[in-house]
Amino acid sequence: MNLREIVRSRELLYFLVWRDVKIRYKQTLLGVAWAVLQPLATMLVFTVFFGNLAKISTDDEAVPYAVFSYIALLPWTFFAAALTNAGNSLVTNTDLLTKVYFPRAILPASTVLAGLVDLAIASVLLLPLLAFYGITPDATILVLPLAVGLLVLLALGLGMFLAALNVAYRDVKYALPFAVQLLLFVTPVIYPTTIIPEKFRYLMALNPLGGIIETCRAAVLPGRAIDWGQFGVAAAVTAVVFAAGALYFHSTERRFADIV
């Protein structure tokens, strides 16, 4: 995996992202509305069941559960889709792998970046939602790009690892949806990190997605301090995951065309 080559192939990356986005909404009735619909519907269901009935706390009386969960559902929905699509990106593009040469990492990267387009569209809905509840973000919102950057790296690193593994073992294809489902429950999307007993928090910190999502919440919602310790651990774990994913991908990519 040659970085210079990837940079040289950036136009191919652009075209593959464009293809993914374009195809996703072709021949659909609602088009890009689907990007909003998924986190929106999930948020509504969560708000009724977890917010109103189970009365899960949002840490802050002033923050309604709808906003609390929607902010977390944006990165979560992106991550779940990016991981699934990146993990399957090599096996669904078998004809490209076996017929043309290009830096292989472009495939998982393009699916992750295509997911960012959906994330951007779905994020637009956050504005009227915040306005409705009279919430005005403060300067901490500037941290948001940092958290999103980390989110992309995490999805890419894990996505590359799973994509490479999927080439040799199709178990990945079957295990992925299930794993993503489980991941939702061990990540503070439905609940805040604070409901976890203090002595087990370090275990939660191992899931960098939690730190990233909590940082997103703290960045958007005023009066919620960013837990830099949690964010730092998340960044460190993400760096390790990304490096490991990229390394594994690099060490196996020469065999992709032979065994896929």
Q: For the window 4-33, what string marks contact with other proteins as x by the rule CB under 8 A?
A: -------xx-xx---x--xx--xx------
| Nearest approach, Cβ of residue 7 and other proteins (Å) | 13
Distance CA 20, CA 85 (A): 10
CA atoms within 13 A on the CB side of 195: 14
Rounded to an integer, what is the distance from CA 160 to the centroid of its chain? 14
Q: Does 248 interact with other proteins (rule: CB under 8 A)?
A: no
- 85 exposed, middle or buried (CB, 10 Å; 0-12, 13-18, 19+)? buried
**Judged by CB under 8 A, does residue 178 bind other proteins?**
no
- Answer yes or no whether residue 98 interacts with other proteins by CB under 8 A: yes
Nearest partner of 260 among 189, 162, 119, 166, judged by Cα: 166
Q: Does 199 bind other proteins (CB under 8 A)?
A: no
Among 124, 168, 236, 243, binds other proteins (CB under 8 A): 168
**170 or 201, CB closer to other proteins?**
170
Q: Which has the closest alpha carbon to 154: 247, 72, 86, 238?
A: 238
Is there binding between residue 3 and other proteins (CB under 8 A)? no
What is the chain's length? Answer: 260
**Site membership for other proteins, residue 198 (CB under 8 A):** no
We find the least distance from the C-beta atom of residue 256 to other proteins, in angstroms, to be 9
Is 12 exposed, middle or buried, given 0-12, 13-18 or 19+ CB atoms closer than 10 A?
middle
The position carrying tokens 């990165």 is 75
Please pick, from the candidates 170, 194, 201, 203, the single residue that binds other proteins as defined by CB under 8 A: 170
φ, ψ dihedrals at 103, nearest 5°: -60, 120
Task: Using CB under 8 A, count the residues that bind other proteins.
Answer: 27
Interface positions with other proteins (CB under 8 A)? 11-12, 14-15, 19, 22-23, 26-27, 93, 95-102, 168-171, 254-255, 257-259
